[in-house]
Amino acid sequence: MSRIRQILLEFVFSDAFRDLDPQHTVPSQISDGTQQVTIEPDGSVPVTTTNVLADAYQNLDPQFPLPIQIGDGTLQTTLESDGSVPVTGQLRITPIVISPLFLLTDEVTMDAASIGDTSITVSDATNIVDGSHLVITDSTSDVFHIGDVVGAPAGLVVTLDTPLGFNFDALSNVTVGEHNMALSVGTLAAPVIFQARVPTALQSTNAFDTWRIMFSAITSSLGDLSEFGDGPALTNGIVLRKKNADGTFFNIHNAKTNGDLKEMMFDFDLLTAIGQGADGFSGRFSLDKLGGIIRLEQGDDLQLLIQDDMTTRVVTLGLLAEGGVASG
């Protein structure tokens, strides 16, 4: 095996680095003689180094035509004809995070709670209702919980739809929100903003890499590509964007019709009710198919702006950001 093939194996499957090259300790520099990247102590390689070594492959190992499969005996990925490696092949296994985009309605604290608890006691339940979305972040560690509320609070006691996976100390932060976008009436001047962000406990040391965004809606009847939901096309549109910590924005797409969503995602379907079921639509915006991700670090938000009246177009509308925790 040539050295560049060894390097590519280390680069793509960084968790296997010590098995493939045990005489090297980490962190360690690997290089093609011109450029170099670092294998970190946890075995990760920065995503920003995607093509540092891949472009050199054909020059250093011309007897192997592209595309080819490369692997460590367990995992494999494809080195494409243009020298690129798919993002899903570069990322090491990380804790998975699935978070709805939600409208922030309150932030409160809670009493200490234990692993397996299905209820918490909060400092103020005024803005917590049946179906509220909660993000709980521990006050002293980097653990967090994402879930919804079941039923109305009993005083300050809130019932969770998912048991806690960790112990939470007193004064842990509880972010409260609403994730049904169908209830929103926004304008250009006053949009309703739904967001996903890195849980507070993780913000200083970790990032959230969004690999794909799932769209889903229920409608009263079957819509078509010229409508939004089953109602008229939006006037101003919904805007998917990233809010940066410095106050700037990166606008990703504006959609005014089901057809616009289809163009953005391709993986988009208008759904016909079966029997007594509901009509609607669903879509999967796979960022890795575009060769990228949306990385959320401290102070960043993934946002959807509602700039029209959604109440006449959809019964429910929600977005899920799916990805994983990455070292910041």
Q: Which uninterrupted H or E stretch holds 285?
A: strand 279-286
pLDDT at 60: 43
Residue of 255 and 66 predicted with greater confidence: 255
Highest mean pLDDT among 19-28, 117-126, 205-214: 117-126
pTM score, whole prediction? 0.71
* Interatomic CA distance for residues 325 and 302, integer angstroms: 15
Question: 146 near 164, Cβ under 8 Å?
Answer: no
* Residues 71, 132: Cα–Cα separation, whole Å: 44
Tell me the pLDDT band of 315, cut-offs 50, 70 and 90. Answer: very high
pLDDT(38) > 90? no
Please state, in angstroms and rounded to a whole number, the distance separating the CA atoms of residues 229 and 227: 6
Q: CA 75 to CA 215: how far, in whole Å?
A: 30
pLDDT of residue 218: 96
User: How big is the CA angle at 295 (ends 291 and 301), to the nearest 5 degrees?
Assistant: 130
Q: How far apart, in whole angstroms, are the C-alpha atoms of residue 178 and residue 268?
A: 24
Confidence at 21, pLDDT banded by 50, 70, 90: very low
Determine the average pLDDT of the residues in 15-33: 45
pLDDT at 231 over 90: yes
Q: What is the rounded distance in angstroms from the CA atom of residue 301 to the CA atom of residue 303?
A: 6
Nearest to 201 by CA among 177, 239, 175, 227: 175
In angstroms, rounded to a whole number, what is the distance separating the alpha carbons of residues 205 and 196?
17
| Residue partners of 112: CB distance under 8 A and separation at least 6 | 167, 168, 169, 170, 172
Q: Which amino acid is at 170?
A: A
Q: Residue 246, class by beta-carbon neighbours within 10 Å (0-12 exposed, 13-18 middle, 19+ buried)? A: exposed
Judge whether 321 and 99 are in contact, CB under 8 Å.
yes
In this prediction, residue 157 carries a pLDDT of 98
Banded pLDDT at 2 (limits 50, 70, 90):
very low
Domains defined for the chain, CATH in brackets: 3-89 (no CATH), 102-179 (2.40.30), 180-328 (no CATH)
